[in-house]
Amino acid sequence: MTLRLHAYRHSVYSWIARLTLHEKGLAYDWVEIDPFEPGVPASFLEMQPFCRVPVLVDGDFQLYETGAITRYLDEGFEGPALQPCDAKGRARQAQIVSIIDSYGYWPLVRQVFVHGWYRQKMGEVTDPAELSAGLAASPRLLGALERLAAPDGSYLLGDSPTLADFHAFPMIDYFAMAEQGAAQLRGHPRLSVWHAAMAARNAVRVTRPDFDA
């Protein structure tokens, strides 16, 4: 049975799930859900009572929370392993995912990306105070990831991509779409090398959200 991903095309968390699906080589059906619009179907809210995306459906198994989805995809299906095999590596992966969720999503995406690029692109009103707040908070997050990133590999944990990379990339890529965000990213050499390596991956190219559609 084909996997189904209920997701929103502009959501970074939906992009994380899509990246993982493509890196694993898994076929899936996309079901578009915009959680920001009124009238979200009751059938979706039965699967996700908090009205967030994505939700993965595998037969009669339904799963929400992006970190749980990506681990399930990696551990439950054939394809390249996307997690470190040792305890320290898995702990570092979990740490990076937690950092980006806890301290990165709001300033990188909801403040810098939304008010520094997205709303301008969509012809909507921006809030300079939100943009400034995001830019003020972002250096601590970028600095933490810069210190944790492996110094001798193209990816956060070394020479092979892991779920840490797929979780962090969409948020940092959105952040860098704003001119001010890109300028901050350039001040972090390890993250800049990593961002370029990730951007060149086929899974990133084929899943990148289209804001002109």
What CATH number was assigned to the domain covering residues 87-204? 1.20.1050.10
User: What is the rounded average pLDDT of the residues 101-123?
Assistant: 98
Q: What is the pLDDT of residue 173?
A: 98
Instruction: Quote the DSSP letter at residue 102.
Output: I
pLDDT bracket for residue 152 (50, 70, 90): confident
Tokens describing residue 29: 């059906």
| Mean pLDDT (the chain, rounded) | 96
Handedness of CA 36, 54, 141, 183 (dihedral sign): negative
pLDDT tens track for 37-95: 999 999 999 999 999 999 999 999 999 999 999 999 999 999 999 999 999 999 999 99
Specify whether the CB–CB gap between 134 and 68 falls below 8 A.
no
Q: What is the pLDDT of residue 213?
A: 74
Q: What is the pLDDT of residue 200?
A: 97
The residue extents of the domains of the chain are 3-76, 87-204
Residue 49: what are its φ and ψ, rounded to 5°?
-65, -15
Q: What is the pLDDT of residue 151?
A: 87
- For helices 128-148 and 189-199, the axis angle rounded to 10 degrees is 90
- pLDDT of residue 166 exceeding 80, the answer is yes
Q: What is the pLDDT of residue 154?
A: 87
Angle at the Cα of 203 from the Cα atoms of 160 and 94, rounded to 5 degrees = 45
User: Coil, strand or helix: which one is 182?
Assistant: helix
- For helices 163-177 and 66-76, the axis angle rounded to 10 degrees is 140
pLDDT bracket for residue 165 (50, 70, 90): very high
User: Coil, strand or helix: which one is 32?
Assistant: strand
What CATH number was assigned to the domain covering residues 3-76? 3.40.30.10
pLDDT bracket for residue 153 (50, 70, 90): confident
H or E segment to which residue 31 belongs: strand 28-32
Residue in 211, 154, 212 with CA at minimum distance from that of residue 12: 211
Q: Distance between CA 172 and CA 51 in Å, rounded? A: 24
pLDDT bracket for residue 210 (50, 70, 90): very high
